[in-house]
Amino acid sequence: MAVTRNADAVSPVRSSGAFSIWLTRHASTSVAALGRLFRQPFASLMIVLVIAVTLALPAAINVVVKNIQSVSGSWSNALDFSVYLRTGISVGEAQGLAGLIGQRADIESVKLITADAALAEFKQQSGFGTALDQLGENPLPHALVVRPNPGNTGASLILLQEEIGNLPEVDLVQVDTEWVQRFHAILDIVRQAIAIGSALLGIAIVVIIGNTIRLDIENRRDEIEVTKLIGASNAFVRRPFLWTGFWYGLIGGTFALLLVQYGLYLLKEPVSRLAGLYQGNITVVTLGATESLAIVGVAVFLGLFASWTTAARHMRRIEPR
Asked if the structure places residue 13 within a domain, the reply is no
Range of the domain at 155: 87-168
Same domain for 216 and 273, yes or no, is: yes
- Which has more pLDDT, 194 or 122? 194
Q: Domain check: are 271 and 210 in the same one?
A: yes
The DSSP 8-state label assigned to residue 40 in this structure reads S
At which of 143, 168, 193 does a domain end?
168
pLDDT in the model for residue 313: 82
If asked whether residues 213 and 152 sit together in one domain, one would say no
Mean pLDDT of 203-218: 88
Taken in order 47, 50, 54, 60, is the CA torsion positive or negative? positive
What pLDDT is attached to residue 193? 85
Clarify whether residues 52 and 153 are in a common domain. Answer: no
Q: What is the mean pLDDT of residues 218-236?
A: 79
Asked whether residue 195 is domain-assigned, the answer is yes
Phi, psi for residue 6 in degrees, rounded to 5 = -90, 100
Res. 6 pLDDT band, cuts 50 70 90: very low
Asked whether residue 12 is assigned to any structural domain, the reply reads no
Name which of 247, 219, 246, 223 is nearest 236 in CA terms: 223
Within this chain, do residues 123 and 267 fall inside the same structural domain, yes or no?
A: no
In this prediction, residue 10 has a pLDDT band, given cuts at 50, 70 and 90, of: very low
User: Are 227 and 100 part of one and the same domain?
Assistant: no
The answer to whether residue 175 is domain-embedded is no
User: Looking at residue 246, what is its pLDDT?
Assistant: 93
DSSP 8-state symbol, 137 = S
**Whole-angstrom distance, CA of residue 307 vs CA of residue 310:** 5
Among 146-150, 169-173, 204-208, 231-235, the range scoring the smallest mean pLDDT is 231-235
Average pLDDT over the chain reads: 79
299 Cβ neighbours under 8 A, 6+ residues apart: 51, 55, 205, 249, 250, 252, 253, 256
Instruction: Note whether residue 259 is domain-resident.
Output: yes
Long-range Cβ pairs for the range 176-185 (8 Å, 24+): 176/78, 176/81, 177/78, 177/79, 177/81, 179/78, 180/72, 180/75, 180/78, 180/79, 181/154, 183/72, 184/72
Q: What gap in Å lies between CA 133 and CA 151, rounded to an integer? A: 43
Q: Does 301 have pLDDT greater than 90?
A: yes
Is there a domain that residue 290 lies in? yes
Domain count, the chain: 2
The last residue of a domain, from among 129, 144, 168:
168
Instruction: Please give the residue that has the higher pLDDT: either 224 or 143.
Output: 143
Domain with residue 92: its CATH number is 3.30.70
Confidence at residue 7, expressed as pLDDT on a 0 to 100 scale? 42
**Same-domain check for residues 153 and 286:** no
Task: Using alpha carbons, select from 184, 181, 104 the residue that is nearest to residue 144.
Answer: 104
Q: How far apart are CA 208 and CA 50, in angstroms?
A: 9
Domain boundary among 168, 202, 237: 168
Q: How do residues 244-288 score in pLDDT, each as one tens digit?
A: 999 999 999 999 999 988 888 887 777 777 666 655 566 677 777
Residue 78 within a domain: no
- Whether residue 190 sits in one domain with residue 162: no
Q: Are residues 56 and 112 in the same domain?
A: no
User: What does the pLDDT average to over 209-227?
Assistant: 84
Instruction: Evaluate whether residue 124 is within a structural domain.
Output: yes
Higher pLDDT, 72 or 159: 159
Same domain, 149 and 192: no
Residues with Cβ within 8 Å of residue 269, at least 6 apart in sequence: none
Same domain, yes or no: 139 and 276: no
> Same domain for 247 and 279?
yes
Question: What pLDDT sits at residue 4?
Answer: 46
Asked if residue 306 lies in contact with residue 206, where contact means CB atoms within 8 angstroms, the answer is yes
Q: What are phi and psi of 230, to 5 degrees?
A: -90, 10
CA dihedral defined by 151, 157, 159, 164, rounded to 10 degrees? Answer: 110
What does the pLDDT average to over 207-215?
89
